[in-house]
Amino acid sequence: MSDLLTGLLQESVSGIALGCIYALIALGFTLIYKATEVVNFAQGEIMMVGAYVNFFFVTQFSGMAGGLNGWVFLFALFASLIFAVLFGIILDYIINRPLKDEPVFSIIMATISLAIILRSLTAMIAGPISLVPVSPFGDSTIKAGGIVISVLDLAIIISAIILMILFFLFFSKTRWGIAMKATSEDSEAAQLMGIPVKQVYRMVWVFAALVGVISGVLLAPRMALLDTTMSYLGLKAFPAAILGGFGSIPGAIVGGIILGIIETVSMGTLSFHFAWIKEINDIIVWIVLIAVLMIRPDGLFGIAKVKRV
């Protein structure tokens, strides 16, 4: 019994780390949806591009420094964040602005097209060979009460917590954060009140690119190989956003962590004791999503919209 409990705790910690990455990707979905009511189906590809860009910077800076060290990873992260800001501005200009007043379906199709283009361009530029990402923490682990915790997983959890706190402070305490909240509630009223809606939309896309790139940087060292299939993890983060309540930032966080734990535990302890679970592991998150939505159609933190007739 103690071994079973230890295994579940071990997998739960790993699941929380994976869930934090899902939460960051889901946060990208949520930010754009709250401001523009558009689902960005290219968020997984943005994460993938961020992972590749960071790998490129790590490789270049390590060559200049004569080897890997902490400063190499730090400068690579800083360069990746600069890329994310520029990438978000470009996406605003090529996706959001030209299609702002077009039907929502047109914008959704544009994001799906963007996802395919980004995946194809990455494959063309990086080549068909999978890359081996390097962790800044190596294989270091911490042992606590019989549970072995990867330092990388711990760093992912701490980084995600810091980012969530920063986002909370930004949205609740800063002028631009309040402007983004006002725009998400009613863009026309916000514009009448003097809020520069176009700049707010640009900032939303920049933030979505930032969380996408950061999630890619955090996820890449956890993967044995880095290739374009990494982008499909965005599809796993999508149900996390729906589970928490699409458009809810706390919901995206909680939904990501829940699905991360479920996926990790189902791949480990549950698959060991129940062999059939291994067969449905790829769809188990969707099964959980349907079960929750049957009880709460608007998600765990979603608020039902009342339409007046």
User: Domain limits of the chain?
Assistant: 2-295
Q: How far is C-alpha 217 from the geometric centre of its chain's CA atoms?
A: 11
Of 15 and 300, more confident: 15
* Domain 2-295 classification at class level: mainly alpha
Using the predicted structure, report yes or no on whether residue 308 has a pLDDT greater than 60: no
Rg of the chain taking only CA atoms, in angstroms: 20
Using the predicted structure, report yes or no on whether residue 85 has a pLDDT greater than 90: yes
- Composition of the chain by helix, strand, coil, percent to 5: 75, 5, 20
* Neighbouring residues of 218: CB distance < 8 A, sequence distance ≥ 6: 20, 21, 24, 155, 156, 159, 160
Q: What is the pLDDT of residue 303?
A: 63
Over range 200-219, report the average pLDDT: 88
Q: What is the pLDDT of residue 309?
A: 46
Q: What is the mean pLDDT of the chain?
A: 82
Res. 4 pLDDT band, cuts 50 70 90: low
Q: Are strands 141-144 and 147-150 parallel, antiparallel or unpaired?
A: antiparallel
| Contact present, 133 and 223 (Cβ < 8 Å) | yes
Q: What is the pLDDT of residue 302?
A: 65
- Burial annotation 12-28 (CB, 10 A radius, 16+ → b, else e): bbbbbbbbbbbbbbbbb
Model confidence pTM above 0.85: yes
Q: What is the pLDDT of residue 285?
A: 76
In tens, the pLDDT along 34-83 reads: 777 778 888 889 999 999 999 999 999 998 888 888 889 999 999 999 99
CA distance 51 to 34: 25
CA distance 127 to 120: 10
Q: What is the pLDDT of residue 14?
A: 85
CA distance 272 to 260: 18
